[in-house]
Structure 1
């Protein structure tokens, strides 16, 4: 694939500054001063009609007057002038523009947003429109901001929706000697957004970890796509201010009333493999740790201290953070006995006592880091009479010089420990002023480790072997919507759940006392009577439930009493009838709630938690974004306190866990396949040792948004099962063509290793011998929304073998995609390339792309012949005569638009 489309913005070869000035009180003056003061190696051209020079540099009246082409234009001009200048930039071949308005008029205001976007789209210019600040690339000496901040080069990137947050974090980072690979302020308007920037930083070799600060989202799918791409390769920490304004909508079900937008945002970050900080302090703490090279492989922590009190405080906080204290092995204990004072604690925390010397600290840290039972070490020091804080810090630094495990330091106090803290900062060892902050930081590492497991999950839309009746379910929903109803009737609700194989207690709807009696006799006693009124969310609030109705003589009186009680509590309530339901009486049952809520930003969300009439009081629930598989469903269950009630306790057997997971998977299927579902609420769902049973359910629907492609309503695209094919080649070889999965990493690596040098060169256009881990992740952990790789495999000697791969990735215009194809040397000339490309073309057309494009080496005659056969047009690349640019229109006339 070609270079990233944001390379001209974040790594320009030359820069032009409109509105450059020598007046530091203006935006143009500050930006120009910062650019000139940095170590940026490319030319900087000030553009300002009038003066011939600006400082010691020539000044130019326009882009046309420049001696060379530039990649980046910085527009420090009145916002109203920006659209016209964007047209000029496009005509001059400028690929990117940073807009920092000189006046108070906001470039992201509705009046200017549309003309800016139209100009940029027409001219092919990438816009960055922050509300202030700009961006920095310290490693390149590039400071394109209007702030007074500077930053040291480093491996940490910051992407923020607030320029003020950028300046605050930079100020803090300067004091802690933390450097940055990039600092970018993104606006909420047109042009480059979070998704684009994260996508670029994911591939940036200078960035090792990323901080994200945001206040709101426009496009959840694009945000999640960029976030997941970055988190697959690098640790990402996010913090969000406030809640979504849309989250204040009125909820029509238990689930909708329980789930807030912040819960959903939290679930989205976990699913993206991202760690969330809840405060600026936590973000700073996590930033220290992620700025180092160390990563966590477990949660077992050793604590080394010279005082019992701080050790106990640290232990308490570790328990609160669900951090496990490591149990040192026999060899470690023996080594510590030999090296430490006789009074040491002989346990974790490793209390060295107040007689601890720098040598004791070095010995304890060395022994703990070497122990296979220890995943990380927290070192505490309090300045006592015999303590040498600075020397102890030096000893700890030396002991940790060659470890791959995280080490955190906490020198408590102020004046006496300041020099030691500075020593830690100089050697890039995370240092904290209190044990609580240090343990929160360690918990972030642990959360990152856990969330990465969630990121690797790539479930399909249909999780079970027994397919649901999607057609029947959709007809039910369409029938209700055609009658302008937003709520399904009781019968429709039961039918829809049945279509997705979710078991529900038998029930009949009745309208008279005699019908109630007949229904009870038919279902068998005991029964429950429930009022049927669409307006009600909580039937029990109006005495609308009669339980344990026994015997024929009690049914009709119970029916009359039920109606009288409801009418007394809610006069004028529209009552559609009464439901007679077979009574569930198993004392081993646990009341649960499961449901779906359509979040206005992230789309459908699955909820699980405690059910029953006290659901709003207990508020014990967790949420997850679909699609789910068994691992994700189990993770959702375990995120609640209710999970402990599902196992055996006292005289109760464990519930049928497989059946409970099965219901969550069915809800996931329902959320994937029916975008019309606004809210679905099953409360209670009874779970016992024999299975699960829904006792009450409520479904609210809404019209499907127009113009969306399949699964366009979801923040995470499911694994595209519909592109799985089973074929047979002309020689009788059975092959499978399927989308690639994360677990195909070793299969992909073996495939590339087996290619001839020529085939590898034709595919990657360099002399690559093997796939790096980062490249392997990029090739196998796909987003499926903006990229697709189809893998052709067969079974040889009982093992699956890769024969070829065809893939596409969305181009920045969002309308076209760039493709690549490679076939194993021994399987060429078997028609496999044609089969793969036909499938890829069909998938791209189904996705709505107007064209497939790609680069082919001019001497790759076999590939060029295949492209001609498939109807691709070709021309010599204007940038390299050794490359042919091939393209195929997927819609009539698409390439001429």
Structure 2
């Protein structure tokens, strides 16, 4: 049995881009006014819809009949443009609700940017809009352009050229500057709009919309604030798999964040968190407005490089060196050209050529010499891309050289060109651009763009890569009961800081190895414990209030005798009493002195970001952690691959692999610790900040020597703190069920590691099952290609949940996927569509019905109002099953298909 998902259908944001009727509320003919400019932009262009001016004081404006209010307009209004004072807007939104307006653009300013009164106005507007289903862009925005349909609902001086770039900006002023730039540089747009204060429609909404728009090939964003971080990341990650998303965001500089209980707070700057978020979602961030559009152009013309190595071919030594400098400074690499390539070039170049990369073909290079050299260079197996630089010398022919090189536009590797100079190279640049080879006036710009291309590829690689499986019993079964008891005890005592012992016990509950630790409140107890543990030992301050023990003289190392224990106890007690007061001394902890020979100190931590919620940190640890600042940030949750990629971004990672005769650290075990730590952060929202510093790493093993954990106050409402930006694995949907034949089925959400098993699942589907599922014959190769399975396995649980049914194979003893159910939220609507398919040899066992029941359960949990599915009319078993489960069946507009709906009360 199989059920298919319904088609895209109408989208809630269509009203902003293809409205049939528009009301301009606040229209006027006053010179240089926003109301007049918007009305003229709508009525003097190529927009085919009907425009109704609204102004209670006028009967006619610019020759158009004018209406006193929305209720007086004789037609239903799709889109309202509001340019009246801020205080009047709530009343207008209420009127929009009464007459059925579906979308509103609020141009007016005077909202949260002016203070508390403006915030109240926004809240009032949003409450009315939410109740009536109105979508709002703005307030305080330039408006919306749809150049492909001629819609110009802005107060800009003109409309953008039609094209394939979707441009979204928070800044209206920047929009007008970009508009002027684009007209001068002949850049075209499929959509062009500013969002202003984003009280409703935000980044996620528009990325979703433009991601599904076939006319939009790339999305370019000027961002000032992130808004709803989860909605942005959810949309960006899915759309980035198909279309480039390129962002410029100001605000890289920042004041240092002061640490509270953990080092992580001082290391995780907000802009670095944003970088981690962009990388996690496949988004490319650039540093200049020009680079925004360079990248949109380049990514539409050339393939992504598979690595960071660029070959530079030039007829001028100096420009080649400039390009090489820019490449390396930007973390790209020069191709190490092979001996075979050198020998091939020797046959076509003068003896004086450079014999290395950059390849200097000498200033008198003819078009033929350029062409032969490019052919050899692009075929070098070490090269990930090629930059060709031409400087206009007396014997150079820029136009003929461009003609000779244009055949390499589709060489399979990215090829960029820098035709340096003025009028003499313009024809050559035009030839290359039209052929699909992007050109740049300066070679360092071209090198920078190549580095961006590689960054973009690397970001996507994180999404496409199959993670290794570390979901063994160790990772999946933490002691959540013990964790809850530790946190509850601290809360009942009014504490927000866990003691070192509590912190280590909590880590152990999540299977993170920690050094054995005991507590002593007297010298005799300290000596007794040290004798049992064996020397040498370490004594540390035990305190419910002090976390950075070294700051108050609270750590003594290498204690090798009972007398030394006595001295260390007194030393710590006296130092703490002198520096902060005796009330902060509750005793000491004793732990064995771990040998540090050949070991590395690592920090693993988490702190709370105001936009993205919990953020993870990994890097070089120890007392000088803030000095070295060798760290990488990532958003939880992690899998093994994401953990490894996080580690790879640090300098210490290279040492952990083994250097200078030292044996390597067990990196797989370190990955597992990071995944366990990530699960801890995700599952325990009462934790505000946490450090493991240091985690000692050596070939002998990994062990946490110290830990600090800061909790939210027990009275804090957890719904008020920043939520985790990427929805974690929904463990609540893991459960068991027995078939009528008493066979156990495990139902659980799909995960990225399931890709290999999903290949085997598809191999066991019959052609009939495939046809019922997809409405057409789709080959096994199409269904199981890596990119397709990534989309189906590495899903965003905030927008889609797939439940797999697993059963044990009696012959192999391994679990196999025998069915999959999927529920996907409809973008812009409070509904979801479902899809299920069961392996042929298990059809009729009731698994399909159980999967649908679970889809309904998820729909209820997600607070959806409707679940729907389209079913082939010939699928009698599926239709009957849905009826029995409470679905209403009706005819669909598509022949041969019936539509099923389940209304959630």
Match of residue 161 from structure 2:
152
Match of residue 720 from structure 1:
730
Paired with 2:110 and 2:735, the residues of 1 have a C-alpha distance of 58
User: Does the residue aligned with 2:585 lie in a helix, a strand or coil?
Assistant: coil
Check whether the contact 2:605–2:689 (CA below 8 A) recurs between aligned residues: yes
Tell me the number of residue pairs that the alignment of Structure 1 and Structure 2 aligns.
885
Greater shift, 329-338 or 38-47, is seen at 329-338
Paired with 1:802 and 1:514, the residues of 2 have a C-alpha distance of 59
Match of residue 335 from structure 2:
326
Matches within 5 A, 1:664-675: 664-675=674-685
Paired with 2:595 and 2:501, the residues of 1 have a C-alpha distance of 23
Cα distance, 1:173 vs structure 2: 3.2
Q: 1:680 aligns with which of 667, 671, 690?
A: 690
Match of residue 167 from structure 1:
176
Cα distance, 1:120 vs structure 2: 1.4
Greater shift, 334-343 or 876-885, is seen at 876-885
Match of residue 450 from structure 1:
458
Q: 2:855 aligns with which of 827, 840, 847?
A: 840
Structure 1 residue ranges without an equivalent (≥5): none
Q: Does 1:6 align with 2:18?
A: no
Matches within 5 A, 1:846-885: 846-849=861-864, 851-854=866-869, 862-873=877-888, 884=899
Greater shift, 228-237 or 342-351, is seen at 342-351
Q: Does 1:201 align with 2:216?
A: no
1:853-879, CA deviations, whole angstroms, 9 ceiling, x for partnerless residues? 456688876554333311235677899
Paired with 2:265 and 2:628, the residues of 1 have a C-alpha distance of 15
Paired with 2:560 and 2:471, the residues of 1 have a C-alpha distance of 41
Cα distance, 1:391 vs structure 2: 4.2
Paired with 1:366 and 1:804, the residues of 2 have a C-alpha distance of 50
Match of residue 273 from structure 1:
282
1:45-100, CA deviations, whole angstroms, 9 ceiling, x for partnerless residues? 44445666655655555545556544322223333333333344344443222111
Match of residue 433 from structure 1:
441
User: Does the residue aligned with 2:708 lie in a helix, a strand or coil?
Assistant: strand
Paired with 2:227 and 2:588, the residues of 1 have a C-alpha distance of 44
Match of residue 3 from structure 2:
none
Q: 1:17 aligns with which of 14, 21, 24?
A: 24
Q: 2:550 aligns with which of 519, 540, 543?
A: 540
Q: 1:373 to 1:45 in 2, by over 3 A?
A: farther
Check whether the contact 1:282–1:440 (CA below 8 A) recurs between aligned residues: no
Cα distance, 1:492 vs structure 2: 1.4
User: Does the residue aligned with 1:233 lie in a helix, a strand or coil?
Assistant: coil
Paired with 1:103 and 1:258, the residues of 2 have a C-alpha distance of 37
Check whether the contact 2:540–2:554 (CA below 8 A) recurs between aligned residues: yes
Paired with 1:114 and 1:461, the residues of 2 have a C-alpha distance of 46
Check whether the contact 1:301–1:326 (CA below 8 A) recurs between aligned residues: yes
Cα distance, 1:235 vs structure 2: 1.7
User: Does the residue aligned with 1:276 lie in a helix, a strand or coil?
Assistant: strand
Q: Which has the higher contact order (CA 8 A, sep 6+)?
A: 2
Cα distance, 1:463 vs structure 2: 3.9
Q: 1:647 to 1:474 in 2, by over 3 A?
A: same
Q: 1:754 aligns with which of 746, 749, 767?
A: 767
Match of residue 218 from structure 1:
227
Paired with 1:372 and 1:235, the residues of 2 have a C-alpha distance of 27
Paired with 1:204 and 1:775, the residues of 2 have a C-alpha distance of 20
User: Does the residue aligned with 1:139 lie in a helix, a strand or coil?
Assistant: coil
Paired with 1:409 and 1:206, the residues of 2 have a C-alpha distance of 27
1:496-532, CA deviations, whole angstroms, 9 ceiling, x for partnerless residues? 1111122222222223333322222121111122223
Q: 1:782 aligns with which of 795, 799, 806?
A: 795
Match of residue 92 from structure 2:
85
1:119-164, CA deviations, whole angstroms, 9 ceiling, x for partnerless residues? 2122221111142212222222222221125322222222222222
State the superposition RMSD in angstroms: 3.8
Match of residue 410 from structure 1:
418
Structure 2 residue ranges without an equivalent (≥5): 1-5
Paired with 1:136 and 1:752, the residues of 2 have a C-alpha distance of 47
Cα distance, 1:317 vs structure 2: 2.8
Paired with 2:253 and 2:886, the residues of 1 have a C-alpha distance of 48
Check whether the contact 1:755–1:825 (CA below 8 A) recurs between aligned residues: no
Q: What is the TM-score with the length of structure 2 in the denominator? A: 0.88
Matches within 5 A, 1:124-523: 124-242=133-251, 248=257, 250-280=259-289, 282-328=291-337, 336-396=345-405, 398-414=406-422, 416-417=424-425, 420-421=428-429, 429-456=437-464, 463-466=471-474, 467-523=477-533
Cα distance, 1:778 vs structure 2: 5.5
Cα distance, 1:561 vs structure 2: 2.5
Q: Does 1:75 align with 2:115?
A: no
Q: 1:820 to 1:48 in 2, by over 3 A?
A: farther
User: Does the residue aligned with 2:902 lie in a helix, a strand or coil?
Assistant: strand
Greater shift, 343-352 or 471-480, is seen at 343-352
Check whether the contact 2:409–2:436 (CA below 8 A) recurs between aligned residues: no
Check whether the contact 1:156–1:291 (CA below 8 A) recurs between aligned residues: no
Paired with 1:703 and 1:456, the residues of 2 have a C-alpha distance of 40
